[in-house]
């Protein structure tokens, strides 16, 4: 297990030196379930005092959405990427399993053996670059995790009607979301592209 403050994290993203006390306070009030729940846009989080600073500094003025991914999880199941950076802010701390889009094969398969585990300390905000493969956070503590997810507005909304102009379109799972799933994830039943090879990674392996 590495930490996001270690040099190995630099190819995947960076730690943001930004004060977010109001957002963290609001994040603590979001529900934690037994499984994993993702809400792309939450009005209470988007009403935080730091919203303008996050939009104008972290995203250069682009419209943003602030949601959360909460729950208990210890398994990779899939990887996704976007055409923009994603900011993750961990309330209790969390584990991210990360890889590089550049390692995806010409047939859109990806070997999970190339991925690395990183601990995000409690209260830490990290930017994941657009080329960083990631999925739902994993639990660092028994209480589970609460992670704010900040993306360009509209991300993860209804999938566009891609006409197959690019072979990559087969990975498109939602707006601004390309996904490759592991056969053990069960996501194939939902139409996800099954291209993850190797072990379905777990934090307790």
Does 166 have pLDDT greater than 60?
A: yes
To the question of domain 2-72+82-156 being in CATH 1.20.1070, the answer is no
The CB-side HSE value for 61 (13 A sphere, CA atoms) comes to: 0
At 132, is the secondary structure helix, strand, or coil? strand
Share of the chain above pLDDT 70, in %: 100
Specify the pLDDT at position 81: 98
- Where does the pLDDT of residue 164 fall: very low under 50, low under 70, confident under 90, or very high at 90 and above? confident
What lies within 8 Å, CB to CB, of 164 at 6+ separation is none
- Where does the pLDDT of residue 204 fall: very low under 50, low under 70, confident under 90, or very high at 90 and above? confident
Specify the pLDDT at position 115: 98
Write the pLDDT tens digit of every residue in 26-72.
999 999 999 999 999 999 999 999 999 999 999 999 999 999 999 99
The whole-number average pLDDT for the span 98-126 is: 98
CB neighbours (10 Å) of residue 137? Answer: 24
Cβ-defined contacts of 43-46 (< 8 Å, 24+) = 45/148
d(CA 168, CA 130): 15
Specify the pLDDT at position 112: 98
Specify the pLDDT at position 163: 81
**Phi-psi region for residue 115, left (φ > 0), alpha (ψ -120 to 50) or beta?**
beta
Would you kindly state where each structural domain of the chain is located, as residue ranges?
2-72+82-156
d(CA 18, CA 91): 14
- For the chain, the C-alpha Rg in angstroms (whole number) is 16
Average pLDDT, the chain: 97
């Amino acid at each position: 297990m590495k930490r996001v403050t270690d040099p190995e994290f630099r190819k995947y993203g960076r730690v943001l030196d930004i004060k977010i006390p109001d957002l963290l306070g609001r994040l603590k009030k979001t529900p934690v379930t037994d499984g994993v729940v993702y809400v792309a846009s939450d009005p209470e989080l988007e009403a935080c005092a730091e919203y303008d600073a996050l939009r104008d500094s972290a995203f250069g003025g682009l419209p943003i959405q602030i949601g959360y991914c909460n729950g208990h999880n210890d398994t990779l199941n899939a990887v996704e990427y976007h055409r923009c950076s994603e900011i993750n802010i961990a309330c209790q701390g969390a584990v991210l399993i990360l890889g590089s889009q550049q390692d995806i094969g010409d047939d859109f398969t990806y070997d999970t053996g190339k991925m690395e585990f990183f601990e995000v300390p409690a209260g830490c905000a990290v930017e994941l670059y657009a080329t960083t493969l990631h999925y739902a956070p994993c639990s660092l503590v028994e209480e589970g995790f609460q992670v704010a997810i900040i993306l360009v507005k509209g991300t993860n909304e209804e999938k566009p009607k891609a006409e197959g102009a690019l072979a990559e379109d087969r990975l498109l799972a939602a707006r601004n979301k390309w996904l490759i799933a592991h056969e053990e994830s069960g996501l194939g039943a939902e139409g996800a592209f099954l291209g993850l090879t190797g072990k379905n990674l777990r934090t307790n392996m």
